Amino acid sequence: MEEIQQRASAASISVEVQEVHTVGSDGEIEPRNLIMLQMPNGRSKRTVDIFDRDVEVFAAHEFEKLIFLGEHAAFLDTSSNVIEAVVRSYGNPLGRNVLQRLAFAMRSARQMDEPEGTELAEDIAENEPNKVEITHPQTGFTVELGVPSDLMRACEFGSLSLTIPANGISRHDDALRYLREFSSSFFFELELTQQVSLGLRESRSVDRIRRLRMRGRGRNSPVVPKIPPVMYAEKPVALYMYGRSAQGMPLLEYLAYYQSLEFHFSKYSDQERRLKLRAELIDPRFDASSEEDIGRIISMLDSSTAGSLSELLQLRATLERCVDLSLLRDFIVSDNVLKDHLTGKQYIEGVKALRPEADDLIEQVANRVYQIRCRIVHAKEDGGPKRQPMFIPFSGEVNRLAADIYLARYLAQKVIVAGAESRSW
């Protein structure tokens, strides 16, 4: 560990050492040493945690030559001139099964082309291969899908990785663009020809905010399960639970929570209309036999229907009736990571930082929620009339939606609870 610290310092890599406690295999709490390196990642840094079990792996490699790439679980190793990226599967087959399927396809094709009795390469003939190498027949360009290297496993989670030649690339932005361009085309062709759906995995450091837990009594003290004294509306609850099941698909998750909010729009817009209508009808000057007064009522109904109110105004009205301003303010500032993403530097284009201290916080939140919703469902290639860029799935910007998804989830909870009805079951 001292060697790693010395080498990191010599390479101008910030290093911090902490003692953490984990549960051992025997169930006992054990102290462990942890080194945190601030590794280069373009114009930012990537926090890499090194536990004592991984010290020898790092010591055996030139970790000082690693450049981590964007938000992906990937790095450029300038010492060996390769790019390695952890890969995720979006369905079956998973992990080793991917390698088995690809190895089987290659073996079958080779058997059809080779004379009888030709022996296959060992890594292709194995029933459970650790890797599959795919080579361009003209250029000799070779990529590898296989079990992540020891160094990658020490940095990130995952059971499958893609390794490609860096072709002399040494800069972060060039390597990141090259990785995205190649993997996008390579994975799409695997989908077409092998029915294998793969993609680049996010870094676990990007995923830190997703490990936040919703605030509430259950965070600090246990809550005894009970029969609910109320009935929650079935459809918005189904939409909410659909969002919970869509973790790892941030655009879909966000829209599910938004649709849970949207379900209540007409209810609260109707309340607005009823209040205005009631006020007019109980006015002692109202004359039911007057064509003018009746016309005014008809005009009021036509201009106050939920359909004519803008969706943003309906969202704002719903939040104003269901979400307490002080509780919303407390929620936003309850966690430093959440607060930083919502009130500090803006990671999502087209939205403004929230000002929790302002009296119009609910209006700010409604604007932010609606703007993100519009970028998901309305964006076109040219940005549409407002020139808003489209969200690209698996992009860094989408991955940084975690705080806003967290906020949308909180709002959906509040609106569902506010709409509950008493029920004795």
409 and 338 fall within a common domain: yes
Residue 330 identity:
D
Number of domains in the chain: 2
* Statement to judge: residues 20 and 162 lie in one domain: yes
Q: Let me know whether 184 and 246 are in one domain.
A: no
For the cut 80, the answer to whether the pLDDT of residue 309 exceeds it is: no
Confidence at residue 118, expressed as pLDDT on a 0 to 100 scale:
39
| pLDDT range class, residue 89, cuts 50, 70, 90 | confident
SS3 56: helix
> 181 and 239: one domain?
no
Of residues 333 and 96, the one with the higher pLDDT is 333
Is residue 155 within a helix (H) or strand (E), and if so which, with residue range? helix 150-155
**Is the model's pLDDT at 379 over the cut of 60?**
no
Residue 250 burial by Cβ neighbours in a 10 Å radius (0-12, 13-18, 19+): buried
Q: Inter-axis angle of helices 234-245 and 250-262, to 10 degrees?
A: 170
Of 80-89, 93-102, 107-116, 191-200, give the range with the top mean pLDDT. Answer: 80-89
The answer to whether residues 54 and 125 belong to one domain is yes
Is the confidence at residue 224, as pLDDT, over 90?
no
Domain assignment of residue 301, yes or no: no
Mean pLDDT of 98-107: 82
**Could you tell me how many helices (H) and strands (E) the chain has, helices first?**
17, 12
* Token duo for residue 5: 């610290």
Q: Residue 207 gets which letter from DSSP?
A: G
Buried b (16+ CB within 10 A) or exposed e, 329-367: bebbeebeebbebbbeeebbebbeebebeeeebbebbbb
In a domain, 255, yes or no: yes
Residue 412: inside a domain, yes or no? yes
Which pLDDT score, from 0 to 100, does residue 365 have? Answer: 97
Q: Same domain for 233 and 176?
A: no
Whether 281 maps to a domain, the answer reads no
Confidence (pLDDT) at 97: 79
**Average pLDDT over the chain, rounded to an integer:** 83
Report the C-alpha gap between 187 and 134 in whole angstroms.
Answer: 13
**Confidence band for 119, pLDDT divided at 50, 70 and 90:** very low
pLDDT at 123 > cutoff 50: no
- Which range of 46-55, 318-327, 346-355 scores highest in mean pLDDT? It is 318-327
- What pTM, to 2 d.p., does this model score? 0.66
